[in-house]
Every structure is written in C-alpha cells, then in structure tokens.
Amino acid sequence: MQLYALGLNHHTAPLNIRERVAFQPERLDDALHDLTQARTVREAAILSTCNRTELYFATEQPQHAADWLARFHSLTLSEVSPYLYTYPQRDAVRHVFRVASGLDSMVIGEPQILGQVKDAARRAEEAGTMGTLLHKLFQNTFAVAKEVRSTTAIGANIVSMAAAAVHLAERIFERLSDQRVLFIGAGEMIELCAAHFAGAQPKHITVANRTESRALALAGRYGADVMRLDGIGDVLAQFDIIVSCTASPLPIVGLGMVERAVKARRHKPMVMVDLAVPRDIEKEVGELDDVFLYTVDDLAQVVDAGLESRQQAVIEAEEIINSRVDGFLHWMQGRDVVPTIRALRQHAEALRASELERARKLLARGEDPQKVLDALSHGLINKLMHAPTHFLNQSEGEQQADASRMLQQLFNLNSHD
C-alpha cells in the first residue's frame, strides 16, 4: 500500500479544463465514498480549489484513481490525461507539503491554501475515508506549513489575488472612489476582495449572495447593501466593478444579461473579475466592447511580479520541506517493519517460556537450582542462536560474505575480535 497524489492545477491545465473536474462542495462526500467503495483505493482525500483538483490516496493501483476522476465527471480519460500528474510516495509527500506551504500556488506564499487543505482533510475524516496513513500525512503537512510560514519570509509583502483584482480595476478607472462595486458571493475569497476594495473607498458596495445571513455579516463590516442573487440582472447596469466567486456549477452572469447592462450604461466601461471555478461569468462576456473580464488565470500575470522578492524564502522553505519529507518516510518505513519486530518478539517470548517451563519442572524434581539456572541460560542462548547460525552456515560464496556482514552489524559484533 503506497501513498499517491494525482490531479491537475494551474501549471498543467487551462481554466476550461480545471472547471470541468472541479468538485462541488455538496458532492464531495459522495465523491469520497464512491472513490473508496471498490476498495482498490483504501484511503482518500480530495482538494478542490479554483487552481487545482487533487486526490491524495493510498492504493496499490494508482491508475484506478485516474480512471475514477474522469468517470466521475463524465469525461473520457483521454480528455484529462494530458493535464494529469501522478506522484508516487516520496514525491506525493513532498507535493502536499509544498501545496500547504504555498509554494505551488498561483500566488507564492499565499495563506488561503493551508485552510483549504485543512478543510479537505476535515471532509475526508468526516466521510470516514481518512486512515492512519493520510491522518499522519496531514498532521505532518500542517506542521510543515506552520514551520515554513514562521521561519521564512515566504508570506512577506505578498501580492494576493484580491490585491491583484484591485490593481486591474485601477488600470481601467482613474479613481475607484468614484465607482460602485458588486460582490457576488460571500465566501473567503470575496471577503478578502471586499477588504482590499474597501481600502480604496469606492462610492458604494453591494453584496449579492444566496444565503442572506452571510451576506449581511460581510456587508455590515463595510457599510454595504445586500441583495438576492436572482435580482442581479435587474441592477447590473448600476455597477462599474463586479467581482464574483461562488460555488455555483453553472454561470450566474450570462452574456445577454451583460449585453443589456452595457447598453443601459451607454457603453461606460465595466470591470468584471471572475474568481470562480467553474466560472460564474460566461466567457463570451469577455468579447464585448467596454467589458474588461478577468479570470483567475489573468490575475496570475499580476501576482507573478511579486515572485522575485520571495525567491530566497522559497529556497529556505524547500530545504525545510525536503528534511521533513525524509522524516515522514522514515516513519512510514518504521511501520513496514512493525510486523517483523512483533513476530521476532513473539518468537523470543515462546523460546523463553519453553525454557522457563523446563526449568520449573527440574526444580520441582529437586534438581540443584544453580545447575537449573545454568541449563536455562545455555538452552535459551542455543535456541536464540540457532536460526542466525543456520542462516550463515547455509550461505555460500558472496552470499555468505554478505550474511556475515549483516550479522556483525545486526548483533553489533567486532569482526577483529
């Protein structure tokens, strides 16, 4: 049974592929149960974000996971296989350590991914698909991410996706203080964007969300209005900047809706930022005049500018990760020898019990205790030494030399004595 990581991300797959294999939160439990149902995959966790879909699992046949991923999303394997990577044990451990530490993110060092990895682990544990291997893996993962963040400057002066969204809006509008902003959704990414845009003091902010209570909590922090999702089409023309990030499996803002808004605005520019995967805004909207549509991949070009200043921190973080990978694999190897250690102890215990029982019978017959103890010690030694001596005597040639070196090391013998 080996650990594997399988998936695709913003490095290997374009947005139109990533959105086709993204997991909706409400289907995640069913997906985990389905993945492990056939028992070819024993343990599993699924990480699905805007930038990646990854499976972490324990199995003897990793190809089953790739077949399942395609089948679950009603795709053929040939459609996704060009974008997939599969990491075997050592590489899989290193990969999840790097992901949680922010080294594999679109924004190097961004902190949100650690929370998303923790959520993936929690969902797997609640679904009952987290076994001993994955539990220990994620424990180590969180410890490594904490060490990287606390001992390196990986998160210093970070350029976030939210900050990049503000930067792109400022390219179009001279002053954000004159603009009206609509946030669609009220999740973590929208909260981050709201904080950044609020810092620019826009003219007005509105939050549209399916759950009113969460929208009210976010709106209350920034003096914003709240509206229902199904009313967006009627008021879209009132907004200059629209930022959307929901878990909807289908687009919320369609081409026709935006065409009507542009016409009502008399072709005044609109900035639309779609941070959702799958997309919240139909991609054809980006072809309209006077509409500037940006996706998560577009924002990557902005955040890359802050990468150079963090290169030294990345080098330090990689050193930490490589060291911790070795430590985790040592723990795994230790687990592999546990059955052998247990069998060896049981064998020794059986020999001890046999010799002890023989000594007790001799004492019961009135034999000299000193002679009985001497016989006990000699009998125990002879039985313990029988197997290694037989192994050495049965070896021949080079194999005998190897056996001799192994026994010397095993019993800490000095070959010169």
Summarised one tens digit per residue, pLDDT across range 310-320 is 778 889 999 99
pLDDT of residue 390: 81
Predicted TM-score (pTM) of this structure: 0.67
| Residue in 6, 50, 69, 224 annotated catalytic | 50
CA 185 to chain centre: 24
Decide if 245 is catalytic.
no
pLDDT of residue 336: 62
What's the mean pLDDT when you consider all of the chain? 90
pLDDT of residue 417: 47
Average pLDDT of span 2-28: 94
Query: How does residue 281 score in pLDDT terms, banded at 50, 70 and 90?
Result: very high
Q: Is the distance from CB of 173 to CB of 179 less than 8 angstroms? A: yes
pLDDT of residue 403: 79
Output 57 or 338, whichever has higher pLDDT. Answer: 57
pLDDT of residue 157: 57
What is the share, in percent, of the chain residues with pLDDT greater than 90?
60
